[in-house]
Structure 1
Amino acid sequence: MTTPYTLDTLQGLARGQGFAGLRDKVVVITGAASGIGLSMAHAFAAVGARLALIDLNGAALEAAAQGLQQAVPDARLACHVAAVNDETAVAQAFAAIDAQWGQVDVLLNNAGISMNCPTLELSGEAWRKAVDVNLNGVFYCAQAAARRMVARGQGVILNMASMYGVVAAPERAAYCATKAAVAMLTKSLAIEWGPEGVRVNAIAPGYIRTALVDDLVARGRMDLDALVRRTPSGRLGTPEEIAALGLFLASDHAAFINGHVALADGGWSAYSYI
C-alpha cells in the first residue's frame, strides 16, 4: 500500500518538483487554521509564496501561524480573522491584503462546515447555515479575489467541493447540495473568467483524516473501519495529499486545466457497490 503523505513529504514535494513559479505569489487561504487549509498553507509556504491566512477562529489561526513559522522559518504570512459568510468581513480582509501585499494571485477557497444529520430532523436554521458558509462564503471570496485578478489579467481560484458534490449520501442533504453547487459555480466562473486570464477549478476530496472526521467518528456519526473497507485504496486520505493536489492545480503545470472538478477520494465515487 502506498504510504500516505505527511507534512515532511509534502514540503519535500513542494521544494523539489518545479513549483518555482509560485514563489512570491500572494496566496489567500480560507479556513486556514486547521485541516486541509493548514496543510495548504504549509505547502505554499514551502515554495516561497506569500500567505494571507483567513479563519473565523482567531486563537486557532494564531496558533497555526506560529506552528507554520516554526516549520518554515522564512515563511511570509499575515492572519485575518473573518467569517467567509460575512460579505463585509470578506471585503475588509481583502482590502487588508491589498494594503499589505498589493495583489492576489491564488485563492484557496477552503472554508466550509459539515452537516450530517437525518434530513427529517434538519432545521431550517441548519440548512441556511450550510448554504451560507459552504456556498455563499465561497462565492463572496471568489468574487473578491476575481475582481483583483481580472484587473491584472491573471489568477487562480481553487474552490473546495467534495466527492459528496458528485455522488450522494443519506443524511447529508445540505452538505451534498451545497458542495454540488460549489462544483457548478466553479464551472460557471471558469467559463466567465477564463477569457480574462483567471482559472477556476475545484478539488473534491473524499474522506480525509482531519479533526472534523475524527470528531464525527467520536460522536458515532461515522464508522471509521467501514469507511476504510468501502474505499478502494484501503485508507482515508491525508490533508497533505489534498494540499499536494492544490499545489499542482495552482501552478503553471496546470495552465490548461480550467473548470475542472478534481476528485481525490481513493476511488470511492468510482465504486458503485456497497
Structure 2
Amino acid sequence: MLKNKVAVVYGGAGSLGSGVARAYAEAGARVFIAGRTEATLKKAAAEVGVEYDVLDAQDEQAVEAHAASVVERAGRLDVSVNLVPRGDFQGVPLMDMTLEDYTRPVVRGIACQFITARAAARRMVPQGSGVILSLNSGSANGSPMMGGTAAADGALDALIRQFAQEIGPAGVRVCGIWTAGVADSLTPEKLAAAGATGMDDAAVQGLVGHLDSMRMTKRSPRIADIAALATFLASDAGISVTGTWVNATAGMFPS
C-alpha cells in the first residue's frame, strides 16, 4: 500500500510509534523514525527494520533541517506522523491541579505538532502530494479527570482541520486518529508518568478490563489495529479522507 513512499514517524521509538513504523515498512515504505534518545531509537530501528535519526521535535530549526535531509536522502517526503509524548498528567480533579500540569500538554503538544506539520507541508506542497497524520485520545469530546489532555486534544483537532483546508488544494491530505487506552501499549511505567502511580502488571490488566467494558465493542484497540488504520490513511486507498478525525476508540464515545 505504501510502495515507493517515504515516511517519517516522530516519536517512533515508543510502542505505538514503532508499531506504525513497522506497518509502514511492511507496506513498502522507506521509513525514518525520529526521537531524542538514541539508545531506544537504535533498538527500535533494528527490531523494525527502518532508519533512525536523533531529533528533538520541539526544536524548529532541527525539524526543518531533518525534513530537508530526508528529502535529500530519499528524494521526497510522503508521510509525516507525529506521536511525540506531550507530558499529559491525569487522574486529578481540575480544582486540585497545578497550572503547570494543566498547561504542559497543551503548550508542548501543539507546538510540537505545529513544527512537524509545517516542516512536512513545506516539502509536500511543492511536490503536489503527501499525508500528514496525527493522533490523540479524542478527549476534546468530553472526558473528566483527564487534566489538560482535553484542551490539548481540542487544540490539535483544530490545527489538523486548518492545515487540511489550507494545503488541500495542493494535493496534501491532513487528518488524525482518535484512540485511547491502546491495550498493549499500557505499562506501569507509562501510567506512572501520566499520574497513575503504584500500578503493577495486574493493576494494568484490571485497567484494560475496565476500558474494555466502557467500549461499544467491549474490546480495546491494539497497536496493530491503529497501525493498520494509519497505513490505510497514509495510502492512496484513503485518498478521499482529509480534514477530519477517525474515531478508533472502539466506541468509547460516538461521533
Cα distance per residue 1:148-182 (max 9 Å; x no partner): 000111111111122213x2222223111111111
Pick one of 41, 44, 56 that aligns with 1:61: 41
Task: After superposing the two structures, state which structure 1 stretch, 77-86 or 219-228, moved more.
Answer: 219-228
Indicate the residue corresponding to 2:124 in structure 1: 149
Indicate the residue corresponding to 1:110 in structure 2: 83
Cα offset for 1:210? 4.2
Pick one of 192, 216, 237 that aligns with 1:253: 237
Cα offset for 1:78? 2.3
**Which 5+ residue runs of structure 1 have no aligned equivalent?**
1-18, 70-76
Task: After superposing the two structures, state which structure 1 stretch, 188-197 or 99-108, moved more.
Answer: 99-108
Other structure's SS at 1:159 match: strand
**Which 5+ residue runs of structure 2 have no aligned equivalent?**
none
Indicate the residue corresponding to 1:7 in structure 2: none
Equivalent residue letter for 1:219: G
Cα offset for 1:56? 2.0
Pick one of 30, 42, 48 that aligns with 2:28: 48
Task: After superposing the two structures, state which structure 1 stretch, 256-265 or 224-233, moved more.
Answer: 224-233
Indicate the residue corresponding to 2:97 in structure 1: 122
Other structure's SS at 1:268 match: coil
How many residues were matched structurally?
A: 243
RMSD value, Cα: 2.1
Cα offset for 1:219? 3.4
Cα offset for 1:102? 2.7
Tell me, yes or no, if the aligned pair for 1:85 and 1:132 is still in contact at 8 Å: no
Pick one of 159, 170, 177 that aligns with 1:203: 177
Distance 1:263 1:195, change over 3 A: same
Cα offset for 1:188? 0.8
TM-score when normalising by structure 1: 0.82
Pick one of 156, 159, 165 that aligns with 2:134: 159
Other structure's SS at 2:46 match: helix
The reply to whether residue 174 of structure 1 matches residue 148 of structure 2 is yes
Percent identity for Structure 1 against Structure 2: 30
Other structure's SS at 1:116 match: coil
Pick one of 108, 111, 117 that aligns with 1:133: 108
Tell me, yes or no, if the aligned pair for 2:178 and 2:248 is still in contact at 8 Å: yes
Pick one of 15, 20, 25 that aligns with 1:35: 15
TM-score when normalising by structure 2: 0.87
Tell me, yes or no, if the aligned pair for 2:175 and 2:245 is still in contact at 8 Å: yes
